[in-house]
Amino acid sequence: RKEVEQDPGPFNVPEGATVAFNCTYSNSASQSFFWYRQDCRKEPKLLMSVYSSGNEDGRFTAQLNRASQYISLLIRDSKLSDSATYLCVVNKAGRRALTFGSGTRLQVQP
Amino acid sequence: AAGVIQSPRHLIKEKRETATLKCYPIPRHDTVYWYQQGPGQDPQFLISFYEKMQSDKGSIPDRFSAQQFSDYHSELNMSSLELGDSALYFCASSSTRVLRYTEAFFGQGTRLTVV
């Protein structure tokens, strides 16, 4: 079983839709959590960190449930430019080794 | 703002040759990470350095070695290259003096093709 698991998708949604991605992690020692987005053949780009209290950045909302070892990302009012692969990333306490999920592909259609 | 710089961007090598990839982290970042991403795969952690010392090791083959220099730039050395080493190699950097929320920023990557 992978340490960080994501639904690979693809999620095909129309512009303006709300879409949610889920991620589970297996190591309870995990301390830091992030969402990155990656466009085809490009580098991963930090979308947002995920805090215990949940956090929002414009159309993006991230939630963390430590008890269930579950992270989510909600995208509201999807834009064509949101089409990308969304990577859930976890770091264990005391380590400098970010672990990536396999990513969820989002395709926003006109 | 300055970003992570990797060189070269593209590299073509023959089997059994060696390759050296370079990474220049964001100024004042103390941690460098190396990742390998094969086609259709997620980035796999290879190795990290903190303040020029090796910090953590992932799935780095014995044929690969890496180091971080006094100016904080890092190099990934790859020997006896195999076809399966063809991949995107990313370097990332972060500031991890306080280990919480270690946001890492990635360079544009080096695309290595072994023929």
Percent pLDDT > 70 in chain B is 96
CB B16 within 8 A of CB B115: no
The per-residue pLDDT for range B61-85, each reduced to its tens digit, is: 999 999 999 999 999 999 999 999 9
Mutate to test the interface with B, among A53, A95, A96 (most CBs of B within 10 A): A96
| Among A62-66, A90-94, B43-47, B108-112, the least confident range | A90-94
The per-residue pLDDT for range A15-74, each reduced to its tens digit, is: 999 999 999 999 888 888 999 999 998 999 999 999 888 899 999 999 999 999 999 999
Chain B residues touching A43 at Cβ < 8 A: 90, 106-109
B4-13, B89-98, B102-111: which has the highest mean pLDDT? B4-13
Give the Cα separation of B49 and B8 in Å (integer).
20
Q: Distance (Å) from the C-alpha of residue B18 to the closest C-alpha of chain A?
A: 23
Q: Is the pLDDT of residue B101 over 70?
A: no
Chain B, nearest residue to A105 by Cα:
B40
Q: Is the pLDDT of residue B96 over 90?
A: no
Q: Does A31 touch chain B (CB under 8 A)?
A: yes
Q: Does B39 touch chain A (CB under 8 A)?
A: no
**Given an 8 Å threshold on Cβ–Cβ distance, is B106 in contact with A34?**
no
Q: Does B25 touch chain A (CB under 8 A)?
A: no
Tokens of B16: 């059994």
Q: Distance (Å) from the C-alpha of residue A48 to the closest C-alpha of chain B?
A: 9
DSSP string, A91-102: EETT----EE--
**Given an 8 Å threshold on Cβ–Cβ distance, is A31 in contact with B99?**
yes
Which pLDDT score is estimated for A9? 86
Which pLDDT score is estimated for A52? 84
CB A21 within 8 A of CB A6: yes
Instruction: Taking residues A82-109, report their average pLDDT.
Output: 93
Give the Cα separation of B67 and B87 in Å (integer).
20
Minimum-distance CB partner of B90 among A43, A93, A96: A43
Helices and strands (DSSP H and E) totals, chain B: 0, 11
Backbone angles phi, psi at A78, to 5 degrees: -55, 140
The per-residue pLDDT for range B10-26, each reduced to its tens digit, is: 999 999 999 999 999 99
Which pLDDT score is estimated for B99? 57
Residues 50-79 of A with CB under 8 A from B: none
Which pLDDT score is estimated for B66? 97
Confidence of residue B100 (pLDDT cuts 50, 70, 90): low
Percent pLDDT > 90 in chain B is 88
**Given an 8 Å threshold on Cβ–Cβ distance, is B100 in contact with A101?**
no
**Given an 8 Å threshold on Cβ–Cβ distance, is B102 in contact with A42?**
no
Chain A, nearest residue to B111 by Cα:
A41
Average pLDDT, chain B: 94
Which pLDDT score is estimated for B12? 98
